[in-house]
Amino acid sequence: MRFLPLFILTLVVSPPKIVHAREGVLVVANLADSSLVLSKSEIRSVFMGGSTKGLSPVEFVPGSYIRKVFNTRVIGLPEARIQSFWAQMRFSGRSSPPVSVDSIDEMLLFLAEHKASVGYLPEGTSLPKGLTVIYESI
Amino acid sequence: MLRRFASFFLITSLFSHGVLADTSNDLEFSGFARVVGGYLSTDEAKYEGYDNSFSVSQKSLAAVQADYTFNDYFSMSGQLLWHSDESRQSGVEWLYLTYQPNASWQFNIGRLRTPLLKFSDVIDVGFAYPWLNAPQQLYSGYLFSQYEGANARYLGYYNEVTFSVELYWGNFDDEILSNGTSSDVEVDGMFGGVIETSYRGFQFRVATSFANDTAVELDELQPLIQGLRAAGFGDTADTLDINGASSSYLLGVGYDSLNWFVTAEIIKVESEIDVLAAIDSSYITFGYYFDEILLHATIASSRQSLNEIDNPIPIGFSPELDALYFAVEEVNSYFPTDDLDSLTLGARWDFRTNLAFKTEVSFLKGKEGKTSFFELDVNNTEFDRRATLYQLGIEWVF
């Protein structure tokens, strides 16, 4: 019984804090065919170890604000759940998480240098030639 | 015990100092560790190894995984695991070769973990699931946790539905711990399959596992079996011979969203082995996220139907027959009867992207006269099979 107070304490400290990400996000790919458009669930599948549609995903490192927006608006899962998911995939030998980058400049560079790569950027980012928007969150 | 913890601290300190960090593009090291402490509210029995003194030596573990990529198609993975629980074997948990000809197909051969339940193949990776103690009614040691063989996986999609199919075949030869007693179990020809589909936040999973030729060696029973045969009770002796087939069927459903999830699994295990039993177990978990904090509740239940051994031995004719009669009666109470209902309330705080603190309390309600997953004397009528398990722990992946 001596652990019950600690258990209850754990539940009441750290008051709930819900993130409301209102910003938009662009999902962009380095593709020869600029007519490709994917649905939200298809993008989610590409970034969560499902069907890749021939694309190689690249994402921002955990903790970055644009990643939080992307998780909220597109993936639809909290960061903790995503990390749990990738632990399960990695240690069961199924798949590995996408390559990650630290900044928007790194993302643009990576996308430009890798054919069929797909990443995401804040709404309003000016895109260089060769990158195609395949999904835009509303 | 000291050696086990020395191994644990060695592996975790090597990682914390970056000694085993990624060494090249072809060879990658990763791993996981957990330190879990627990306390059971009763001194009449043990549950999951816990008794009414605080202990961190039941569930704590550390593992390191090495993945070597030969080329675009072939890779090799191995996982070494050190477990604090002396009833669990430490050593090579996984060791397999992977052939991945494209993004849809994957073939593995070697020592692999059985993928029956949603978290079966990562049951040691506590970071991957919400609880400290996955529902014991389903995730107990009855099932064959690993096998030596091969599997094939296919990942596909149709419109917005993603699906995966996995088939596996192999053999199992290991010790299984049940009701505090370990037995050598050998399975020749274990096979099964898993189909998983997901649509938006919904997941659906069906899985089966068949073990054609299961042989369990219980040395304690051999003198009794020989005595029964010598006294002319061959049919009774045959019922104690634990050889035969078993099959498991699983159905799982779930829904994940930004703020909450629900997941449920139900499993049915059938066996043609006379003294073993059919088991029906299920759980449902609901979780709600408050940013990095997850609160969750799980209701789990199991019902086991055990075949009583027919005891045709007359008593009162001779001391030898009386001894045989009472020995058969003793055996009748030896096999576990794991009827258990439980309610688990827990919290998980992901205070780093690779570190999570967890705490949970499980209210256990077994049935009188049954083992109910407790380690006890089944004839103990003093204990009402009710207890509360408190646990705290830290999960780490690296």
Question: Distance between CA atoms of B341 and B323, rounded to whole angstroms?
Answer: 36
Contacts of B120 (CB under 8 A, 6+ apart): B113, B114, B139, B143, B145
What's the whole-number mean pLDDT along residues B101-114? Answer: 93
Q: Given the DSSP bridges, would you call strands A56-60 and A117-122 parallel, antiparallel or unpaired?
A: parallel
Q: Give the distance from residue A128's alpha carbon to the nearest chain B alpha carbon, in angstroms.
A: 29
Question: Distance between CA atoms of B352 and B8, rounded to whole angstroms?
Answer: 21
Q: Is B129 on the interface with A (CB under 8 A)?
A: yes
Task: State yes or no: pLDDT of B205 exceeds 80.
Answer: yes
CATH superfamily of A19-137: Periplasmic binding protein-like II (3.40.190.10)
pTM equals 0.84
Q: Is A37 on the interface with B (CB under 8 A)?
A: no
Say yes or no for a CB contact (<8 Å) between B390 and A7. yes
| Closest residue to A17, CB basis, from B32, B291, B397 | B291
Say yes or no for a CB contact (<8 Å) between A50 and B113. no
Contacts of B87 (CB under 8 A, 6+ apart): B49, B177, B182
Please name every residue paired with B279 in a beta bridge, in sequence order, or none if there are none. B269, B304
| Amino acid code (one letter) for B226 | Q
Give the other-Cβ count within 10 Å of B314's Cβ. 11
Q: Is B261 on the interface with A (CB under 8 A)?
A: yes
Q: What is the pLDDT of residues A82-125, one digit of tens each?
A: 999 999 999 998 888 999 999 999 999 999 999 999 999 999 89
The ipTM is 0.84
Question: What's the order of all strands across the beta sheet hosting A56-60?
Answer: A99-101, A56-60, A117-122, A25-30, A131-136
Q: Taking the domains of chain A in order of start, what are their residue ranges? A: 19-137
Q: What is the pLDDT of residues A19-42, one digit of tens each?
A: 444 688 999 999 988 888 998 888
Q: What is the pLDDT of residues B299-328, one digit of tens each?
A: 999 998 766 677 888 888 888 888 888 887
Question: Distance between CA atoms of B304 and B361, rounded to whole angstroms?
Answer: 24
Domains of chain B: 2-397 (2.40.160.10)
Q: What is the pLDDT of residues B251-281, one digit of tens each?
A: 999 999 989 999 999 999 888 776 666 889 9
| Amino acid code (one letter) for B177 | L
Q: Is A11 on the interface with B (CB under 8 A)?
A: yes
Question: Distance between CA atoms of A126 and A78, rounded to whole angstroms?
Answer: 28
| Amino acid code (one letter) for B255 | Y
Could you say which DSSP state residue B89 is in?
Answer: P
Confidence at residue B215, expressed as pLDDT on a 0 to 100 scale = 75
Question: Distance between CA atoms of B141 and B267, rounded to whole angstroms?
Answer: 14
Question: Distance between CA atoms of B285 and B28, rounded to whole angstroms?
Answer: 34
Output the CA angle B291-B122-B346, nearest 5 degrees: 40
